[in-house]
Amino acid sequence: MIRLDLRSKAFGAARVLGPMALDVAPGEVLGVSGPSGAGKSTLLRILAGIDARFDGELDSGQRRAMVFQSPTLMPWRCVQDNVTIPTGATEADARAMLSRVGLTGMEQMWPAQLSLGQARRVGIARAFVGRPEVLILDEPFASLDAERIEDLLELTATLIDEFRPAVVLASHSEQELAALSTRRVRLEGRPARLIAA
Ligand SMILES: Nc1ncnc2c1ncn2[C@@H]1O[C@H](COP(=O)(O)OP(=O)(O)OP(=O)(O)O)[C@@H](O)[C@H]1O
């Protein structure tokens, strides 16, 4: 569950996010759209608990995971270590989750040996291995071709159905938002407000 009551978020004198309230239940996927620079990533960092410098209250689960626009893997660690080290998951759990995302046999490979689609799958395995209560997805499928996006959308939808985290997805892609969201909002204006979409 995610509950945010945000009065304001500013960078110095620049007020980016205005007053807004947000509730996301387990198993729900809130799709967030809005123009570039509206504040989607800023809002998602607050929801993920990465940015605590805002005026307001955040109430969310203990187990939080985030998938970013870039896969952000540690280049000097193998695929399996990239799942176990940041999460504290066991090797067995990491192998099982890597198998769920289609990477069986690639556990000992280096990130540089992976395609972008495979690297994104590692990011998804890393996010789900800890059975998150809250999952924040910030443009998680950017720069992939249409067929790979379809595959990853299907995989992500299956894992969300199974683990039922409260999910917030920010994307510019109507295809991604339509495929995963159970509810939609737009961020608009400066400071940005949430508008039902
Ligand atoms: N660390 C920071 N310091 C100062 N300003 C920032 C910082 N991070 C973001 N901003 C500003 O906050 C605003 C919102 O940025 P944000 O990255 O959240 O937008 P976005 O909606 O995610 O954009 P995009 O869709 O292009 O990724 C922008 O004007 C940006 O310049």
Q: Are 82 and 151 in contact (CB under 8 A)?
A: no
Q: What is the CA radius of gyration of the chain?
A: 17
For range 166-177, the mean pLDDT: 95
Q: Ligand 1: which residues within 6 Å by Cβ? A: 11, 16, 34, 36-42
Q: Could you give the CA distance from residue 67 to residue 71 in angstroms, rounded to a whole number?
A: 7
CA distances 108 to 91, 95, 103, 112, 122, Å, are 12, 10, 10, 12, 12
For residue 148, report the distance from its CA to the centre of ligand 1, in Å.
28
What is the pLDDT confidence band of residue 145, given thresholds at 50, 70 and 90? confident
Distance (Å) of CA 99 to CA 69, 95, 126, 178? 22, 6, 12, 27
Pocket test for ligand 1, best of 20, 42, 169 (most atoms within 8 A of CB): 42
**C-alpha of residue 102 to centroid of ligand 1, in Å:** 34
Q: Mean pLDDT throughout 139-154?
A: 88
Q: What is the mean pLDDT of residues 20-40?
A: 96
Complete domains list, the chain, with CATH: 2-196 (3.40.50.300)
Question: What is this structure's pTM?
Answer: 0.94
Report yes or no for ipTM above 0.90. Answer: yes
Q: Whose CA is nearest to atom 7 of ligand 1?
A: 11
Q: Please determine, for residue 136, whether its predicted confidence score (pLDDT) is greater than 90.
A: yes
How confident is the model over 106-131, as a mean pLDDT?
96
**What's the pLDDT tens digit per position in 84-106?**
999 999 999 999 999 999 999 99
Contact assessment for residue 78 and residue 108, using Cβ atoms and an 8 Å cutoff: yes
- Which residues partner with 21 through β-bridges? 5
